[in-house]
Structure formats: structure tokens, C-alpha cells
């Protein structure tokens, strides 16, 4: 199973050789962030019917490159957040709290990520990585 400390992109590459595990990791993030099915579907760009099918039979999960990239960013964001904030409740709060930084435009990080572009996930990840770099 996926662990937050692992190199995210390497992990994504390894996990895509087992799509069921990759999907299980996405569900772990959904639970940790307390996201609705529609939120996680939007973040990963998975249709409702496909999500339901994969949830009932994860072995059938097949990922395209865009989805792998999106979920890789989600893995990275989660890894950084758990390193910085440690507690899932603090992570949930931060994701939903309006931020004054320009990258968020006064909105919450979750709102920014749900805007729909892979670049939105990239920007949140980049912003968090910069904060993490300042800590070490």
C-alpha cells in the first residue's frame, strides 16, 4: 500500500502496474480528506459510472495518462500535507480554508484543485512544496 513518505512519481509509476492498488490509494486520500465521490471524481477526472465500476471491482481500473498525472499530484499534495500538518483533521481544515496567497486568489486550496485543470493541481503542489522546502 502507498505511504506518504514515498517518492510520489516513482510510486505512481510502480502502482500503475497494479491499477487496483493505485485506485485504493486514491480512495485512501478521499477518506483522509473527507471528500465526496463527486469531488474525488472531479479531481481525478473519472466519470461517475467508471468510478462506481472501479469501486465495485478495482481490478478493472484502467488509467489514462492524464488521470495518472492528476492522481500523482494528489499523492504528492497529500504527502506534503501529512508531513506539514500530521493530523487528518488539520489537513481537512487547511484544504477548505480560504487562503490569502495569490495562488489561491482568496479561495480554498480544495476549490483551486476542483477548478478542473491539471495545472491547478500542479500549482497547489508547487506552493506546498515551496513551504515544505522552507521547513527543512
Q: DSSP secondary-structure letter at 6?
A: S
What's the chain's average pLDDT?
86
Please check whether residue 105 lies inside any domain of the structure.
Answer: yes
pTM confidence score: 0.84
The per-residue pLDDT for 14 is 46
Average pLDDT of the segment spanning 6-18: 49
Please check whether residue 2 lies inside any domain of the structure.
Answer: no
The per-residue pLDDT for 104 is 92
Of 1, 53, 44, nearest to 24 by C-alpha is 1
CA–centroid distance for 24 within its chain: 12
Please check whether residue 56 lies inside any domain of the structure.
Answer: yes
Please check whether residue 3 lies inside any domain of the structure.
Answer: no
The count of domains in the chain is 1
3-state SS class at 129: helix
Please check whether residue 26 lies inside any domain of the structure.
Answer: yes
The per-residue pLDDT for 7 is 44
Of 128, 101, 98, nearest to 111 by C-alpha is 98
Amino acid at each position: 500500500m502507498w505511504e506518504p513518505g514515498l517518492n510520489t512519481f516513482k510510486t505512481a509509476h510502480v502502482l500503475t502496474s497494479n491499477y487496483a492498488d493505485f485506485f485504493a490509494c486514491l480512495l485512501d486520500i478521499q477518506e483522509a480528506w473527507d471528500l465526496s465521490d463527486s469531488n474525488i471524481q472531479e479531481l481525478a477526472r473519472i466519470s461517475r459510472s467508471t468510478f462506481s465500476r472501479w469501486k465495485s471491482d478495482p481490478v478493472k481500473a484502467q488509467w489514462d495518462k492524464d488521470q495518472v498525472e492528476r492522481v500523482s499530484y494528489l499523492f504528492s499534495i497529500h504527502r506534503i500535507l501529512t508531513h506539514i500538518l500530521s493530523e487528518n483533521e488539520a489537513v481537512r481544515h487547511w484544504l477548505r480554508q480560504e487562503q490569502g496567497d495569490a495562488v489561491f486568489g482568496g479561495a480554498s486550496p480544495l476549490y483551486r484543485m476542483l477548478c478542473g485543470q491539471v495545472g491547478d493541481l500542479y500549482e497547489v503542489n508547487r506552493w506546498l512544496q515551496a513551504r515544505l522546502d522552507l521547513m527543512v
